[in-house]
Amino acid sequence: MIIEFKKFVSFLFVIILLISSCSDSNNEKKTGEDEVPEIQQHFKFPPLPDHVVFCGTRVELSNFDIRERLDKELIVNTYFHSHTIQAIKRANRYFGQLEQELIKQKLPLDFKYLCLIESGLTQARSPAGALGFWQLMPETAKQYGLRVDNEVDERMHILKSTIAACRYLQDANEKFDDWIVTSASYNRGIAGIASDLEEQGVSSYFDLHLNSETSRYVFRMLAIKIIFENKKAYGYDEDNMELYEPIKTRSITINNSLDDIKKWAKSQGSNYRMLKLLNPWILGNKLTYKNSSLIIELPV
């Protein structure tokens, strides 16, 4: 028994030494030169303004619901860096062209932000089948004069799709006489927003109870506008960005069918890749003339 007790005491002594050793080791790590400093994260987020003006309409932010809905979209877009940086770069290339057409169509310039939130200024395709900068559905595109078939999809023609979108917005505003409700109708549909207003007995977009996407829609535009007009305040310094410049092109008018676009592009001193990059509305390797001239852009 005495021998067993001695063994137990020896074992206990070893355990105490091990615990003491681990404690000393941990203390050395905490106080040694190799200690990892705590990482401080700095967020740059200016206070919300008292109001924001969109399409000439002053939106007051005194109401907690309106203020917090806008605050959410500002946070999302300010810290979605990969998306917002690319949007700023692309805007330098395309906003000038969009603004020119908005002026021609007598629409507020703020609608360029609608185009931006719809597609990020890319030829995006939605799960529902909307396509292009303005995310037009096939039937809507055809309704406003765009060609959509197995050879050509003018929803991806920047100028023509912009004109079609402008005409939609003009029709919507003729009904609502309210640019903000008109903006919401671009997402919900003219009939959908009209029905919501009537059923809920309100006249303002901000008083409507809507599905999540349409409820956020206008606030996404407001947030993007605030960020784009105050880039440095929200941490985006254009001076340190390589912005995308507008592409210089030459226009070639086509009044006949083309059976082999690849060969034709080569005959024009270009190639198929450049043709497709600058004319994404051309879907395949042939074009059938249909009583309307087609203008193809190629690099200068």
Judge if 106 and 142 occupy the same domain.
yes
pLDDT tens column, 271-300: 999 999 999 999 999 999 988 889 999 999
Judge if 151 and 182 occupy the same domain.
yes
Judge if 191 and 273 occupy the same domain.
no
The pair of structure tokens assigned to 13 is 């002594």
Q: Which residues of the chain have pLDDT under 70?
A: 1-44
Return d(Cα 152, Cα 134) in angstroms, integer: 17
Judge if 94 and 177 occupy the same domain.
yes
Return d(Cα 165, Cα 160) in angstroms, integer: 9
Judge if 189 and 78 occupy the same domain.
yes
pLDDT tens column, 228-247: 999 999 999 999 999 999 99
| pLDDT confidence of residue 31 | 46
Report the chain's terminal Cα–Cα distance, integer Å: 100
Judge if 75 and 173 occupy the same domain.
yes
Return d(Cα 271, Cα 258) in angstroms, integer: 15
Within-domain flag for 266: yes
Within-domain flag for 12: no
Judge if 253 and 233 occupy the same domain.
no
Judge if 295 and 167 occupy the same domain.
no
b vs e for 132-158, b when ≥16 Cβ sit within 10 Å of the residue's Cβ? Answer: bbbbbbeebbbebebbbeebbbbbbbb
E strand or H helix that includes residue 77: helix 64-78
Judge if 124 and 220 occupy the same domain.
yes
Query: Could you tell me the pTM of the whole model?
Result: 0.84
Within-domain flag for 205: yes
Return d(Cα 105, Cα 109) in angstroms, integer: 10
Number of domains in the chain: 2
CATH number at residue 127: 1.10.530.10
| pLDDT confidence of residue 291 | 82
Within-domain flag for 126: yes
Distances 153 to 138, 142, 280 between C-alpha atoms, Å: 9, 10, 8
Domain around 112: 51-240
Is the Cα dihedral 147, 247, 231, 54 positive or negative? Answer: negative
| pLDDT confidence of residue 41 | 52
Cβ–Cβ < 8 Å for 299, 270? yes
Within-domain flag for 40: no
| pLDDT confidence of residue 19 | 55
